[in-house]
Structure 1
Amino acid sequence: MTQPDIDLAVLDIAGTTVDDGQQVYKVLAQTARAHGATPSDADIARWHGAAKHEALKALLTESSGVGPGPEQLATVVEDFRTRLRAAYADHPPVPLPGVVETLGRLRQAGVRVILNTGFDREIVTTLLAALGWDGDAVVDGVVCGSEVAQGRPAPYMIFRAMELAGVTARSRVLVAGDTPRDLQAGINAGAGYVVGVLSGAGTVAELGVERHTHLLGSVADVPQLIGAGSEQPVCPTAGRGVVDLPS
Structure 2
Amino acid sequence: MSIDLVALDMAGTTVQEGGAVYRALADAVAAASGSPVPAADIQRWMGADKREAIAALLAGAPAEVDTVFDDFRTRLAAAYEAEPPTALPGVESALTELRARGIKVALTTGFSRDVAEDLLTHLGWKIGGCIDALVTADEVATGRPAPYMIFRAMELTGVHSTTRVLTAGDTVLDLRAGTNASAQYVIGVLTGSQDAEILGQERHTHLLSCVSEIPLLLTRNGSN
TM over 0.5: yes
Amino acid at match of 2:69: V
- Aligned match of 1:24 in 21, 36, 39? 21
Which of 137, 158, 172 is the equivalent residue of 2:150? 158
State how many pairs are aligned. Answer: 220
Contact 1:105/1:228, CA 8 A, preserved across alignment: no
Give matches, 1:91-102, under 5 Å. Answer: 91-102=83-94
Q: What is residue 40 of structure 2 aligned with on the other side?
A: 42
What is the rounded CA distance, in whole Å, between the counterparts of 2:211 and 2:182 in structure 1?
20
Paired position in structure 2 for 1:234:
none
Query: Which residue of structure 2 aligns with residue 54 of structure 1?
Result: 52
Q: Choose from 74, 95, 104 the match for 1:112.
A: 104
Aligned: 1:139 with 2:131: yes
1:102-130 alpha-carbon deviations (Å, 9 max, x no partner):
00000000000000000101111111011
Residues 228 and 78 from structure 1, CA distance in 2 versus in 1: closer, same or farther, beyond 3 angstroms? farther
- The answer to whether the 8 A contact 1:177-1:196 is kept is yes
Structure 1 contact 125–134 (Cα < 8 Å) conserved: no
The Cα shift of 1:228 comes to 8.4
The equivalences for 1:198-217 within 5 A come to 198-217=190-209
Aligned to 1:113, the other structure's residue is in SS state: strand
Counterpart residue identity of residue 65, structure 2: L
Is 1:15 equivalent to 2:15 in the alignment?
no
RMSD between aligned residues: 1.5
The 3 A distance-change label for structure 1 pair 58 and 67 is farther
In structure 1, the partner of 2:159 is 167
Q: Residue in 2 aligned with 1:80?
A: 72
> Any unmatched runs of 5+ in structure 1?
230-247
Q: Distance in 1 between matches of 2:90 and 2:165?
A: 21
Deviation at 1:227, TM superposition (A): 1.9
Q: Percent identity?
A: 52
SS where residue 116 of structure 1 aligns? strand
2-side partners of 1:162 and 1:141: how far apart? 9
Q: Which runs of 5+ in 2 are unaligned?
A: none
Structure 2: distance between partners of 1:38 and 1:207: 26
The answer as to whether partners of 1:6 and 1:174 remain within 8 angstroms in 2 is yes
* Deviation at residue 75 of structure 1 after TM alignment: 1.4
Find the residue that maps to 2:207 and give its secondary structure.
Answer: strand
Give 1:38 deviation, angstroms.
3.3
